[in-house]
Amino acid sequence: MTDYYSKHFTKTLKEDPKDEEAINAKLLIRAGFIDKQMAGVFTLLPMGLKVVNKINNIIREELNTVGCQELFMPAFQSKELWEKTDRWNTDNQVMYQMKDNSGKEVGLGYTHEEVITEIATKYIRSYKDLPQAVYQIQTKFRDEPRAKSGILRGKEFLMKDLYSFHIDIKNRDKFYEKIKEAYKKIFKRIGIDTVVTSASGGTFSKYSHEFQTISESGEDTIFVCSKCQSANNSEIINENGKNCKECNQELVEKKAIEVGNIFKLGTRFSKVLGLYVADATGNKKPVEMASYGIGPTRVMGTIVEVSHDGKGIIWTKSVSPYDIHIIQILNSKSEILNNNKTSNSKFKTEEIVNQLEKADLDVLVDDREGISTGEKLADADLIGIPYQIIIGDKTAEDEVEIKDRKTGKVEIVKIAEIKKIINN
């Protein structure tokens, strides 16, 4: 698939956005990936949506592989349902709640335990219906007083939330470990390092686990053992102290961004909402549950926080909006006007694009006229596609210079070999 930047809806912006301190927001806005509608509320512009879709599809592939099924729940939450679990009043500081014109109160979901548990009561009746694991990628709303970290913490944001249902704790724990491994694969494929951090399980269970990406811009503080990489968040540290038991080593304090979390819910929701099954001996028992979150828009912001330089974003290959950024150098006025085969760089671009499309690569071509080469190169560095190819008059017939955005290294390669370089 090939897009031409001259026709693309967005262009890079010259100035940093006002009222945005976070690097992720500054770079994503200037490069044309997101637009800020209000504090904590962003539009995913075409290139931003491409990145998020790639993140989402990696998540989908890994979850589907371990038997999870995708569905899509509503944002609106019933007051009556949330009163049953006692969260309507306690959570009204984070949950948007409103009255419709008929006077009925509804909320906007920031999580979906209530809704999915109620749905599950209609389909899960016996131990034979278990296990089940369903997820959605859906817009969540949170009344967030300090929406100041760009798309890392929004009032409206995308969330992948997965819920699993099991006959007993043993089976639940086995599946929980399976998802922990799936999460590791997901973040590895996306291209960000994470440490699995033990955290409090709140009122539900003893522990939960967070997937934390170490970054100075993170709002979380974690404590990592430099020897075994085991990590705890501050709740656990307050409880158990700053020592790594396994290695007898002092834990090192780090700032980190929470990109995912997994959580044993126990029977907190199944008991109250009536999700009971008959086991093999006919005894009714409440279903054991767990929930698992990843914020795809927050992941996009995290990549930018940990992978950028002074010139702009450096996308990881698996989620970059395009595989290659072709920069077309139009040297002379006559060449710009002469839109045909005699215009060398235009003709060569089309030749190369044809071959890259055959290799199933996604290409962005900066074909803008009246923009200097320097400006085009700066824009390409800001946008951050991992490979750049510059095509000018002097480009040979069957070879191109390909630049690695991250290392700056330039290689001369045969066009037929571009795919190999990119897939390396």
Q: How far is the CB of 377 from a copy of itself (least distance, A)?
A: 21
Residues 108-147, interacting with a copy of itself (CB under 8 A)? 115, 119, 122-123, 132, 134, 139, 141, 143, 145
Tell me whether residue 134 or residue 418 sits nearer to a copy of itself (CB atom): 134
Q: SS3 string of 173-237? A: HHHHHHHHHHHHHHHHHHCCCCEEEEEECCCCCCEEEEEEEECCCCCEEEEECCCCCCEEEHHHH
By CB under 8 A, tell whether 371 contacts a copy of itself: no
Which residue in 340, 342, 366 sits closest to 353, CA to CA? 366
Tell me whether residue 35 or residue 235 sits nearer to a copy of itself (CB atom): 35
How far does CA 184 lie from the centroid of its chain?
A: 14
By CB under 8 A, tell whether 186 contacts a copy of itself: no
Helix 296-306 and helix 23-30, axial crossing angle in degrees, nearest 10: 100
Tell me whether residue 52 or residue 222 sits nearer to a copy of itself (CB atom): 52
**For a copy of itself, which stretch binds (CB under 8 A), given 97-105, 212-220, 234-242, 249-257?**
97-105
Residues 54-93, interacting with a copy of itself (CB under 8 A)? 67, 69-76, 78, 93
**Which residue of 16, 43, 89, 309 would you call a contact of a copy of itself, by CB under 8 A?**
43
DSSP secondary-structure letter at 142?
Answer: -
Q: How far is the CB of 297 from a copy of itself (least distance, A)?
A: 10
By CB under 8 A, tell whether 9 contacts a copy of itself: yes
Which residue in 286, 293, 289 sits closest to 266, CA to CA? 289
Asked if 167 and 288 touch (Cβ cutoff 8 Å), the reply is yes
Asked if 256 and 218 touch (Cβ cutoff 8 Å), the reply is yes
Asked if 47 and 29 touch (Cβ cutoff 8 Å), the reply is no
By CB under 8 A, tell whether 331 contacts a copy of itself: no
Binding positions for a copy of itself, rule: CB under 8 A: 7-11, 13, 32, 35, 37-38, 41-46, 48-49, 52, 67, 69-76, 78, 93, 96-98, 100-102, 106, 115, 119, 122-123, 132, 134, 139, 141, 143, 145, 155-156
